[in-house]
Amino acid sequence: MNEKILNDIAVAMVAKGKGLLAADESTGTIKKRFDKIGVENTEGNRQAYRDMLFTTPGFEQHTSGVILFEETLFQKSLAGPSFAELLSSKGVIPGIKVDKGAQPLAGGGLEETITEGLDGLRERLAKYHAAGARFAKWRAVITINDEAPSDYALHVNAHALARYAVLCQEAGIVPIVEPEVLMDGDNSIEVCEEVTDVVLDSVFGELNAQNVLLEGMILKPNMVVPGIQCTEQASVQEVAEATLRVLKRRVPIAVPGIAFLSGGQSDVLATAHLDAMNRIGGFTWGLTFSYGRALQAAALKAWGGSNVEAGKTAHLHRARMNGLAAQGQWDKSLEKAA
């Protein structure tokens, strides 16, 4: 394992004012997004959509890396070079989602899941590295309900995250470790804080037990928010403070960076939360975005299957807003000017 190479990549992924574009929707997930705009889910349309995103002029000023789905890593851009080559030529690091999705957890009974994809992962990582990927993503999903999360689900998901992470590092690939506490319940922000706290405790316990190099990884957590169905919503400041409280307790300073998922927050709210945390400060990690929906929703709608220029304009705007938020320099008035 080359520790310096891993650390250099991880540091570059959270470079000042930059974050990650999560464009790694599986073929099934992108179908749901395309259905909403009436676009057929063909390989050609997926290629055209991602080409629009990755050829947006200037997005590289705010984007350190892009998480790709396997199909995209091995696909050509419309101009000819592979997407990995196109991104690398702009100084944007190609990454790859390597998990095979969250499946029902056997023997659990609480509607919890375990993320699959460890079988054959060493061989797949070698192929992905050869194709240009320098970081990877694995998403574990943690559900909150009256009885969940169970210790069982916490343990097996943390264990799998650590197994994935150490295999990535062996292959010269920086692992994004993503334990996502879902925000779709009716729980309060306090419950989300408590659950996020035990999740991160369990994840870092396993990462340490399995010799994961903390200096060569990125954490991708949820923010601490009330469930969408909770009657009492929280202010931007409350979310920022609660999220930082947990992270400061649980994330060692050896970790170069934290890049949040958006998890179903509206795009402007996801930007506002990130900005508020960077204004509060008091931490050493790079604190940035790794958004999927919050970076793409407006671009997808504006593109609508054919309007390439409008899609690029909307994409660049959100990338720029989040780049500012990653430095605590975003302002709501910049949204109106768009």
| Amino acid identity, position 107 | G
CB 3, min distance to ligand 13P, A: 26
| Cα distances (angstroms) measured from residue 81 to each of 24, 78, 124, 290 | 19, 8, 22, 25
**Angstrom distance (rounded) from CA 81 to CA 65:** 17
Closer by beta carbon to ligand 13P, 67 or else 154: 67
Near ligand 13P by CB under 6 A: residue from 56, 64, 262, 278: 262
Judge whether 36 counts as a catalytic residue: no
**Angstrom distance (rounded) from CA 84 to CA 224:** 33
Tokens at 61, concatenated: 């000023």
**Helix (H) / strand (E) containing 142:** strand 135-142
Q: Quick one: which segment of 117-125, 197-205, 292-300, 311-319 binds ligand 13P (CB under 6 A)? A: 292-300
133 makes contact with ligand 13P (CB under 6 A)? no
Residue 161, classed as helix, strand or coil, is helix
Residues 75-94 that bind ligand 13P (CB under 6 A): none
291 makes contact with ligand 13P (CB under 6 A)? yes
Of 216, 195, 212, 215, the C-alpha closest to 204 is 212
With the C-alpha atoms ordered 53, 55, 58, 64, is the resulting torsion angle positive or negative? Answer: positive
| Residue 11: φ, ψ to 5° | -65, -40
- Count of residues binding ligand 13P (CB under 6 A)? 10
165 makes contact with ligand 13P (CB under 6 A)? no
Question: Mask of contacts with ligand 13P, 174-213, x by CB under 6 A?
Answer: ----x-----------------------------------
Residue 310: count of CB within 10 angstroms of its CB:
16
Question: Mask of contacts with ligand 13P, 7-36, x by CB under 6 A?
Answer: ---------------x--------------
Q: Quick one: which segment of 40-48, 233-241, 246-254, 291-299 binds ligand 13P (CB under 6 A)? A: 291-299
Q: Quick one: which segment of 6-14, 199-207, 235-243, 288-296 binds ligand 13P (CB under 6 A)? A: 288-296
CB 112, min distance to ligand 13P, A: 17
Query: Is 140 in contact with 158 (CB distance < 8 Å)?
Result: yes
CB 262, min distance to ligand 13P, A: 3
CB 58, min distance to ligand 13P, A: 21
Judge whether 335 counts as a catalytic residue: no
Of 101, 143, 11, 124, the C-alpha closest to 65 is 11
Query: Is 234 in contact with 242 (CB distance < 8 Å)?
Result: yes
Q: Which residues are catalytic?
A: 178, 220
Applying CB under 6 A, which residues contact ligand 13P? 22, 139, 178, 261-263, 291-294
